[in-house]
Amino acid sequence: MRPMTIRYVKDMDAARRFYLALGLTHDFTSRKPRRGPSVWTELTGAAGSGLALHYDPDGGIGKTAELCFQSGEPLEDVVNRLRAAGYEPETEIVDESFGRAFTIRDPEGVLIQVNENDYELQS
């Protein structure tokens, strides 16, 4: 499981250019929806650290960043392991423009997103 910070942005192109100029490397951008910009871009920094840019015209509605983990295994396996340990996900597994995801709260109530990316959705 690789930790990834999600940065909510109002301008995907400007944010992507900035973080690339900062020294991160482009890994993945979801295909564009019928209208508007791509909604998901992943960048990699030193030692494989990850930053995901998530387009939100409202800038995340009061939040600017979120803790996310990118799973290397099917999400069903992660959910089953969490449930067996007594942790119930906040949401079911849902389809996203980048693959699939679910959310769960940690013991202190912080919402965490867990992603399973489908790299065939690249642009």
* Residue range of the domain that includes 88: 2-121
The total domain count for the chain is: 1
* DSSP letter assigned to residue 80: H
Number of H helices, E strands in the chain: 2, 8
Q: What is the pLDDT of residue 77?
A: 93
pLDDT along the chain (123 residues), means of 10: 83 87 84 78 82 80 75 90 92 92 85 86 65
**Which CATH number covers residue 88?**
3.10.180.10
- pTM confidence score: 0.65
Q: What is the pLDDT of residue 50?
A: 85
For 75-82, the CB contacts below 8 A with 24+ separation are 75/100, 75/101, 75/102, 75/114, 75/116, 78/114
Q: What is the pLDDT of residue 93?
A: 97
Q: What is the pLDDT of residue 101?
A: 95
Question: Which residues neighbour 33 within 8 Å (Cβ) at sequence distance 6 or greater?
Answer: 39, 97
Q: What is the pLDDT of residue 23?
A: 75
